[in-house]
């Protein structure tokens, strides 16, 4: 496929992948027709066979930095890009690659899975901003197409987008779903998870397990207190949120609560 627009004066974009599932690349590909009148796609290896290196106005990067060649590629991308946009939970938080290695190193995990003869140059999986400056972080698993187009429109007008990451509860209430946390006693993490999925899980009666990563300013103490009052083990909840790459610093604010829901003094 050749996505390149013939008008060489248009702003340029590139879409690149590191270690990820290509979910974001698919969302971008599905929505690229809306952008093609306004941009020239100079690189999109997932979708076209002819790709150029060199300076580019906006580069969207999916995936975490999990291998040495990811890091080398990311550094080249950063050097060539005016705006660098991390797209998706892997690029923004590290997602399951990072969350799956909290109890052992990436090298140990590779050994367990592939055996001693495997020859991978693995790094501890990390979000992009651990290694390079990131201009915009667009969370999602996968990203929301409307948010992607809105971010792109802002950057094409030469200003950084204003991204608020409200909790899933907001979308859930707008859909008038019954609350599975309150009414069904399910350990729903919607109050601390970034919105954008349209409250997919609670809309079918399931608890949100935090796959979009944390929302802006998550109220962790309140979430912990509600879950504790309902009898859920915080370790289990931490494990769920952490498995999608939520940073451990968030949970430092989670204090043990006693059986009446009050914070245990002295901790
Ligand atoms: S079901 Fe979950 S996402 Fe929906 S309002 Fe209740 S806690 Fe929030
Ligand atoms: S787990 Fe939460 S953030 Fe992920 S799709 Fe379900 S409701 Fe949305």
265 is a domain residue: no
How far apart are the C-alpha atoms of 13 and 87, rounded to whole Å?
Answer: 14
23 pLDDT more than 60 = yes
Q: What is the mean pLDDT of residues 50-64?
A: 95
94, 215: one domain: no
194, 120: one domain: no
d(CA 123, ligand 2 centre) in Å: 28
Pick the atom of ligand 2 nearest to 195's CA. Answer: 3
For a mutational test of ligand 1's pocket, the pick from 191, 209, 212, i.e. the residue with the most ligand atoms closer than 8 A to its C-beta, is 191
233, 173: one domain: yes
Give the global pTM.
Answer: 0.88
d(CA 225, ligand 1 centre) in Å: 15
How far apart are the C-alpha atoms of 199 and 222, rounded to whole Å?
Answer: 20
For the chain, the domain total comes to 2
Helices (H), 81-128: 89-93, 95-99, 106-114
54, 121: one domain: yes
Parent domain of 92: 12-156
188 is a domain residue: yes
209 pocket-lining for ligand 2 (C-beta < 6 Å): yes
Q: What is the pLDDT of residue 97?
A: 84
Nearest alpha carbon to residue 223 among 184, 179, 264, 253: 253
100 is a domain residue: yes
Q: What is the pLDDT of residue 221?
A: 84
Answer with the residue of higher pLDDT: 117 or 16: 16
Q: What is the pLDDT of residue 163?
A: 83
178, 245: one domain: yes
- What are φ and ψ of residue 123, in 5° steps? -120, 165
Q: What is the pLDDT of residue 256?
A: 56
């Amino acid at each position: 496929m050749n996505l390149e627009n013939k008008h060489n004066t248009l702003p340029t974009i590139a879409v690149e992948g590191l270690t990820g599932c290509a979910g974001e690349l698919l969302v971008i590909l599905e929505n690229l027709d809306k952008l093609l009148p306004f941009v020239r796609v100079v690189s999109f290896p997932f979708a076209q066979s002819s790709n150029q290196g060199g300076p580019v106005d906006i580069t969207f990067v999916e995936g975490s930095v999990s291998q040495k060649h990811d890091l080398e590629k990311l550094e080249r991308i950063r050097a060539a890009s005016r705006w660098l946009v991390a797209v998706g939970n892997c690029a923004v938080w590290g997602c399951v690659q990072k969350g799956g290695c909290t109890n052992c190193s990436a090298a140990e995990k590779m050994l367990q899975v592939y055996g001693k003869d495997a020859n991978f140059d693995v790094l501890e999986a990390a979000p992009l901003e651990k290694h390079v400056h990131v201009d915009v972080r667009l969370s999602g698993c996968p990203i929301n197409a409307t948010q992607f187009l809105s971010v792109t429109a802002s950057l094409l007008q030469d200003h950084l987008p204003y991204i608020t990451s409200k909790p899933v509860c907001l979308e859930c209430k707008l859909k008038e779903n019954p609350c599975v946390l309150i009414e069904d006693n399910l350990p729903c993490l919607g109050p601390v998870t970034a919105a954008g999925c349209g409250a997919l899980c609670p809309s079918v009666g399931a608890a949100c397990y935090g796959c979009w990563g944390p929302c802006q300013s998550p109220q962790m103490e309140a979430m912990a207190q509600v879950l504790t009052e309902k009898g859920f083990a915080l370790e289990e909840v931490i494990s769920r949120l952490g498995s999608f790459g939520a940073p451990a610093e968030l949970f430092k604010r989670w204090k043990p609560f006693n059986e009446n829901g009050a914070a245990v003094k002295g901790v």
